[in-house]
Amino acid sequence: MMSPAAANALMEWQPVSSRIMTARFNSKGRKVTIIQCYAPTNDADEETKETFYDALQTEVDELPKRDITLLMGDMNAKIGKDNTGKELIMGTQAIGDMNKNGELFTDFCAFNDLVIGGSTFQHKDIQKVTWISPDGKTRHQIDDITISRKCRRSLQDTVSKRESDVASDHQLVMGVIKIKLRAFRDTADRPQARSNIQRLKETGFKDTFSVSLKNRFDALGMVTDEMPLDEHWSCLRDTWKDSCQEVLGKGANTFKEWLSGNTWTLIQNRRDIKQKKQQHQE
């Protein structure tokens, strides 16, 4: 799910596996590649963990070197506060003690020069917790956002948002990133605004458009079979675009409510129940 600005800047996305996906965005200065992943749990067998990190490393190796890399998701890794020997990629603000998955995660970040955001920003412990064990007491910080160390200043904060209801037993982790996105136009140079084709259903507009299009095509008498294919295509494309702009105009952006009022009520009820449960546990 993306904002309109992010959707316009999206260049490509790739579902790598059931645990990994990537998305690349156009931005000012450098492109941004986001890798979203779901790592195996700490109790998973070594082969599953090795397969996951091998696939993740393959994706990182294939990234353009100048891209700003953001690796984030449920890493199922506790890194703890002790950053001895890993000062370049983590701070001392994480909670708990490092587990086996934490060792794998920090080694991966060190190898790929990624800074772990959840360990570098000072917050209350309750704002660092991302998952609570089924016993309702043990709290963990196992979801994180990392960024290329050379661009670490672009990551300005990471914090757990307890009040956000994401229909999961994990808390939403929000990162504040200072990057200016730019709308991306693909090689086909498709226009951002679509023509108002609904006007073709109105009386008279269809005939007017046909006449305008015919007159413009008649004016293309100089187009011959000897003309280069690219130039021939440009003439045809511009003819259609000019007729659409002159007769039809731009289509209006219409947005429909994708959630009904009853659904919003259910969401609010669920949020209230979740908040009461958290207060009871505290």
- Domain parsing of the chain, residue ranges: 4-177, 197-248
Question: What's residue 15's pLDDT?
Answer: 94
Domain 4-177: top CATH class: alpha beta
List all residues 6 or more positions away from 183 whose beta carbon is below 8 Å from its beta carbon: 5, 8, 9, 26, 192
pTM of the model: 0.70
Kindly list the distances between the CA atom of residue 95 and the CA atoms of 78, 118, 127, 131, 144, in Å, as whole numbers in the listed order. 8, 9, 10, 12, 12
Alpha helices in 128-260 (DSSP H): 205-218, 229-243
Please tell me the predicted confidence (pLDDT) of residue 222.
56
Q: What pLDDT is recorded for position 189?
A: 52
Question: Residue 204: what pLDDT?
Answer: 76
Low-confidence ranges of the chain (pLDDT < 70): 186-194, 219-227, 251-257, 281-282
Q: What is the pLDDT of residue 237?
A: 79
Whole-angstrom distance, CA of residue 16 vs CA of residue 220: 47
pLDDT in tens, 130-158: 998 888 788 999 999 999 999 999 999 99
46-61 helix and 100-112 helix, angle to the nearest 10 degrees? 20
